Structure 1
Amino acid sequence: MKRRHFLQLTGATLAAVSLVQTARAAQPPATDAKAFRAMRKYANLSFGRIAYVDRGTGDAALFLHGAPLNSFQWRGAIDLLSPYRRCIAPDFMGLGYSEVPEHQALDARAQLEMLVALLDSLGIRAVDIVASDSGGAVAQLFVAHYPKRVRTLLLTNCDVEPNSPPPGIKPILDMARAGTLADMTAEWLTDRAKARATFGAAVFVNPAQLTDEIIDYYVQPLVSSPLRRSQYERYHLALTPNPLAGIESRLAHSTVPVRIVWGGSDTLFPQTDAAYLDRIFPRSQGVHVIPEAKLFFQEEYPSVIAAEARRVWGMR
């Protein structure tokens, strides 16, 4: 390991220990689904009617969710960070409450161009990006193709060029190809115990936190019509071929400050992916691993996200 990376993975992490331990000790109640729904806005773009939340003032922060989630994933972090940033949290096309035409492309590059159009419509030139899962792949494309529009980047468990899409989602892709993924997901609306025992147990430390209200907010738009079911499956099919192929050389020349926060018990994106990101970004501020956390720990530990975001924003 290079000396620079060793120092980042030890000294920088130790410096943040007390801050993160305090953040993990007491997670405040987050905005509930009813209140979050009331915040939802829509932007009429050439891509379609894009759902997003816009909360707070000042410099903008852009929150990019994972699949099969939507912007609701970031509600707790937005609660904590909206006093410091204008928090913009869109729903990706094919997921959440965004409504797009039948033949709209849903691949990562199309999602990127949608985000740029959304920011332009809101008069936002540059953002601090906070991203998860497949949203992290879009975030890396954002840095590669629009580097002057990204101030900082906070990456949590997500795709990297050598692991995109991860082999662990092959069963999901197989169901999408067979046209059965939406049917399986719809079952979570009638058998919420199954949702918690399968999906919840795979991606959360505490599956019980996936309440009926949360399940409904995530699942209902995905299966609300034949078109939405098809787009939900097409979103997953668009994860191949690798959307990050060839991106490493661009990221290796990035001047964007990057902080990496990783769930150490995630079965899709191992800690070696975090180390890879730390190695290729020249201005990486190191990796913080949460040993027990899984893929969607951001929802369970919003105070950790808020603390790490403020850290990379220079607000320690």
Structure 2
Amino acid sequence: MSTNTVVETQYAKIEGHNIAYQDVGEGVPVLLLHGIPTNKFLWRNVIPTLSQTHRVIAPDLLNYGESDMPTDVDVSINAQCRIILKLMDALGIASAHVVAHDIGGGIAQLMAVNAPEKVNKLVLIDSVCFDSWPIPEFEPMLEPGFEESTSVEKFSGILEDFIPNGVYGDKVPVDEMIELYITPWSNEKGKSAFFRNMRRLNKEYTEAIVGALHNLPHETLILWGDKDEFQKPKYAPMLADTIPDSSIKWIEGAAHWVTDEQPESVSESLVAFL
């Protein structure tokens, strides 16, 4: 059962903005960070297993999902890192395992570098890193005038076409993914928020911390779909070579949306590691 139907969404006021999150289970906290263009529901098929043994917190990043979408606030991964650390404080979480996907992985790397005492174990899933992002598929949308000339309907269609390109094979519930991930963007406010997020995608944040990654003390699991066309598989061994106490686990026959494609494999890997 998808957790979006059974887990209550709660809100915390961080820097004056409502941050939506799900908080379920008891035990050592595990923080789940999504990427773009998804939201907390990325983890809906992982939370039921993880929450049997851990307290699981899955927030929507600022400007994503059910969190506030302010028009004049920094939404770079650097700013998101700061907000997530404050969310942990607001929820009384001194430290947590951090499990992160896509640009959430960039946020998690910044957390581990900037606030290492807040991070226990680290899991990077098909994560942005080094110069791996923004992906070429997003570049046309950054062209001058594209946002202004693109209707909500056309934009939603672009995202609906984009999502299936991140799966491998035909056994994945793409229609459910599109509904959960695209709905927050499918109005004028959401469309504007998406483009603000796009404009703040900047590889300089991850390139700047490469040196610091060499000194990370955290035990780190690198989970990667071996068919990922968005975050290329070549980056997994690059991360493993950079982070001292790290190992790679390949999700075979999966692309970018591994929690949708193979939730059982992801859940089993997380339970075994955490």
Could you tell me the percent identity over the aligned residues? 27
Alignment match, 1:130 = 99
Q: CA deviation at 1:215?
A: 2.6
Q: CA deviation at 1:176?
A: 8.6
- 1:245-277 residue CA offsets vs partner (Å, 9 max, x unmatched): 220111110110001111111112222100011
Counterpart of 1:161, as a letter, is F
Q: Does 1:298 align with 2:259?
A: yes
- 1:140-178 residue CA offsets vs partner (Å, 9 max, x unmatched): 111110111100011111111132323443234348954
Q: 1:304 to 1:108 in 2, by over 3 A?
A: same
Q: 1:287 to 1:148 in 2, by over 3 A?
A: same
Alignment match, 1:98 = 67
Show the 5 A alignment for 1:12-23.
Answer: none
Question: Contact 1:177–1:237 at 8 Å: present in 2 too?
Answer: no
Partner SS, residue 234 of structure 1? helix
Q: In the comparison of the two structures, how many residue pairs are matched? A: 273
Alignment match, 2:218 = 256
CA distance in 2, matches of 1:176, 1:241: 23
Alignment match, 2:30 = 61
Q: 1:211 to 1:264 in 2, by over 3 A?
A: closer
Question: Contact 1:260–1:278 at 8 Å: present in 2 too?
Answer: yes
Partner SS, residue 244 of structure 1? helix
Q: CA deviation at 1:211?
A: 5.2
Partner SS, residue 243 of structure 1? helix
Alignment match, 1:216 = 179
Counterpart of 2:250, as a letter, is V
Q: Does 1:236 align with 2:198?
A: yes
Q: 1:212 to 1:33 in 2, by over 3 A?
A: farther
Alignment match, 1:11 = none
Alignment match, 2:123 = 154
1:45 to 5, 10, 14: 14
Q: CA deviation at 1:235?
A: 0.5
Note the residue ranges of structure 2 that are not aligned, 5 or more in a row: none
CA distance in 2, matches of 1:181, 1:275: 40
Q: Does 1:204 align with 2:167?
A: yes
Q: 1:83 to 1:158 in 2, by over 3 A?
A: same
CA distance in 1, matches of 2:106, 2:240: 15
Q: CA deviation at 1:228?
A: 2.8
Query: TM-score, normalization: structure 2?
Result: 0.91
Question: Contact 1:33–1:214 at 8 Å: present in 2 too?
Answer: no
Q: CA deviation at 1:181?
A: 8.2
Question: Contact 1:70–1:96 at 8 Å: present in 2 too?
Answer: yes
Question: Contact 1:203–1:294 at 8 Å: present in 2 too?
Answer: yes
Alignment match, 1:21 = none
CA RMSD of aligned residues (A): 2.2
Question: Contact 1:164–1:243 at 8 Å: present in 2 too?
Answer: no
Q: 1:91 to 1:175 in 2, by over 3 A?
A: farther
Q: 1:101 to 1:248 in 2, by over 3 A?
A: same
CA distance in 2, matches of 1:181, 1:48: 27
Q: Which has the higher helix share?
A: 1
Q: 1:243 to 1:272 in 2, by over 3 A?
A: same
Alignment match, 2:39 = 70
Alignment match, 1:14 = none
Q: CA deviation at 1:105?
A: 1.1
Show the 5 A alignment for 1:76-115.
Answer: 76-115=45-84
1:186 to 156, 176, 181: 156
Q: Does 1:310 align with 2:271?
A: yes
Counterpart of 1:305, as a letter, is V
CA distance in 1, matches of 2:2, 2:138: 30
CA distance in 2, matches of 1:265, 1:305: 15
Segment drifting more, 75-84 vs 232-241: 232-241
Alignment match, 1:24 = none
Alignment match, 1:31 = 2
CA distance in 1, matches of 2:231, 2:174: 25
Note the residue ranges of structure 1 that are not aligned, 5 or more in a row: 1-29, 189-193
Q: Does 1:269 align with 2:238?
A: no
Question: Contact 1:165–1:242 at 8 Å: present in 2 too?
Answer: no
Segment drifting more, 246-255 vs 167-176: 167-176
